[in-house]
């Protein structure tokens, strides 16, 4: 069997065995798994290879681009400002970013943005990736757009602009770009290996993602539907994540670099009552607000059933291997996934380099989480 490195409580032997099997079978190339309970690491393991050619083993400090799992940290930053009383989820975004009120967005709230119910799921076409890299251009374009539907009436996944929405509010309120805020007020205090983008000094330990298969066409998709209109705005290919421009930009919806240990350390703040090792980022009251339901139905962009709370997805029967109550989670393109289980005071994360189709988990993450919950129960 593939060698699994790291440490774990013997109770979670099945998790280590599952990870080893995923590498052995070729379903995964390199991956890491972490489980934190009551703020303490219980599982911290990794296996496989950093590269598709299998020339470099995945190491303890290997990191990778985790795509939309990044959003869980951007959401945490927004929740921290709510906790400090600097913003409120029912505030209009325009209270803090006046230009955002243009073209009928005066009633879009912070809560709508955090819950993907703003009615502004993407940038209006045409938009280039180079324009997204430029913070001023990207946020000015967002501010000038009109919503595609009445805010708050439905979710439409904000795949690439989520971090720009939150980040511009963070910048207006604190004076710090979101990448800086995360570094100085989240990752730094927690000593967590998580960053928006990637510092050049860390390039050598980045495991490049392995591109997923091409997406299957959606039969009978209405070209005027939100899903069709949102596609390719901007066009993103997995390989872009290997470039300097991507790594150097503040794309706090999609270019976080970390491993399972790093993201679990950050997110365990949520599962452990707001505090880890004496570092308090949230109050229990603010954590309870995560579970305020903003939407519960077919997401207009993803085309699947999603239930969104404040900053995170909440459980629904669409993902049966995650418990039905007390969980707040999200994942990334290709299969990475992090789950905060409030009832069990646990955070579970799976980060890998080989991408599969889809956003909310894949067969590998399902296998890992099934093994983890079997052990937890």
What is 290-331 written as a DSSP string? Answer: TTS--EEEE-TTT-SEEEE-SSSEE--TTSTTS-SSSEEEEE
Q: What is the pTM of this model?
A: 0.98
Domain membership flag for residue 101 = yes
Please report whether residue 224 resides in a domain.
no
């079978």: which residue's tokens? Answer: 25
pLDDT band at 325 (very low <50, low <70, confident <90, very high): confident
Q: Is residue 231 part of a domain?
A: no
**pLDDT (tens digit, 9 = 90+) per residue, 295-313?**
999 999 999 999 999 999 9
pLDDT given for residue 321 in this prediction? 87
How much is the pLDDT for 209? 98
> For residue 318, what pLDDT band results from cuts at 50, 70 and 90?
confident
Give the domain range for residue 197: 4-216+238-376
Alpha carbon distance 328, 340 (integer Å): 5
Which of 33-47, 63-77, 206-220 is predicted with the least confidence, judged by mean pLDDT?
Answer: 206-220
Does residue 87 have a pLDDT over 80? yes
When pLDDT is cut at 50, 70 and 90, the band that residue 215 belongs to is confident
pLDDT band at 357 (very low <50, low <70, confident <90, very high): confident
Residue 293, domain member (yes or no) = yes
Looking at the structure of the chain, the number of domains it has is 1
CATH code for the domain of 275: 3.40.710.10
pLDDT in tens, 98-150: 999 999 999 999 999 999 999 999 999 999 999 999 999 999 999 999 999 99
Q: Is the pLDDT of residue 332 over 80?
A: yes
Characterize 311-322 residue by residue with b for buried, 16 or more Cβ atoms within 10 angstroms of its Cβ, and e for exposed. Answer: bbbbbbeebeeb
Mean pLDDT value across residues 142-168: 98
377 pLDDT higher than 90: no
If you average pLDDT over residues 162-191, what whole number do you get? 98
**Closest residue by Cα to residue 207 from 51, 55, 84:** 51
pLDDT above 70 covers a percentage of the chain that reads 100
- Report the C-alpha gap between 37 and 34 in whole angstroms: 10
The mean per-residue pLDDT over the stretch 169-190 comes to 98
185 part of a folded domain = yes
Averaged confidence pLDDT in the chain: 96
Give the pLDDT confidence score for residue 217 in this predicted structure: 84
Residue 226 belongs to some domain of the structure: no
With 90 as the cut, is the pLDDT of residue 294 above it?
Answer: yes
So what's the pLDDT on residue 326? 94
Per-residue tokens: 72: 């869980």
Q: Can you give the pLDDT at residue 1?
A: 86
Looking at residue 320, its pLDDT comes to 84
pLDDT at 189: 98
What is the rounded distance in angstroms from the CA atom of residue 346 to the CA atom of residue 350? 14
* pLDDT of 359 above 80: no
Round to whole Å and give the CA distance between 199 and 174: 23
Contact predicate 295/312, CB 8 Å: no
Give a yes or no: residue 223 inside a domain.
Answer: no
Q: What's the pLDDT score for residue 327?
A: 97
**pLDDT in the model for residue 218:** 85
Domain-embedded: residue 342: yes
């Amino acid at each position: 069997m593939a060698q699994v490195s790291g440490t774990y409580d013997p109770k979670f032997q099945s998790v280590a065995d599952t990870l080893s099997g995923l590498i052995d079978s070729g379903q995964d190339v390199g991956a890491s798994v972490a489980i934190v309970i009551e703020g303490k690491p219980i599982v911290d393991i990794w296996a496989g290879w950093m590269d598709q050619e299998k020339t470099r083993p995945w190491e303890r400090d290997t990191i990778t681009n985790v795509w939309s799992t990044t959003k869980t940290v951007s959401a945490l930053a927004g929740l921290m400002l709510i906790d400090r009383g600097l913003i409120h989820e029912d505030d209009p975004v325009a209270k803090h970013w006046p230009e955002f009120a243009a073209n009928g967005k005066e009633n879009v709230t912070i809560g709508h943005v955090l819950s993907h119910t703003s009615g502004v799921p993407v940038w209006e076409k045409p938009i280039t990736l180079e324009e997204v890299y430029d913070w001023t251009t990207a946020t000015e374009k967002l501010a000038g757009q009109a919503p595609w539907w009445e805010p708050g009436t439905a979710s439409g996944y904000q795949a690439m602009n989520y971090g720009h929405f939150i980040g511009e509010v963070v910048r207006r309120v604190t004076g710090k770009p979101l990448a800086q805020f995360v570094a100085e007020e989240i990752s730094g205090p927690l000593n967590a290996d998580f960053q928006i983008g990637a510092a050049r000094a860390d390039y050598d330990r980045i495991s490049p993602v392995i591109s997923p298969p091409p997406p299957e066409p959606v039969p009978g998709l209405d070209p005027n539907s939100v899903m069709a209109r949102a596609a390719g705005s901007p066009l993103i290919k997995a390989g872009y994540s290997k470039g300097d421009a991507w790594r150097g930009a503040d794309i706090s919806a999609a270019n976080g670099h970390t491993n399972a240990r790093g993201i679990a350390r950050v997110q365990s703040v949520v599962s452990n009552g707001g505090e880890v090792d004496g570092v308090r980022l949230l109050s229990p009251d603010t954590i309870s607000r995560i579970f305020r339901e903003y939407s519960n139905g077919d997401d207009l962009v993803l085309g699947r059933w999603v239930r969104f709370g404040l900053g995170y997805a909440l459980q629904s029967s669409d993902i049966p291997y995650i418990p039905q109550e007390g969980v707040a989670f999200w994942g990334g393109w290709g299969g990475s996934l992090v789950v905060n289980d409030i009832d069990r005071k646990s955070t579970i994360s799976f980060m890998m380099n080989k991408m599969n189709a889809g956003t909310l988990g894949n067969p590998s993450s399902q296998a890992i989480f099934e093994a983890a919950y079997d052990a937890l129960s």
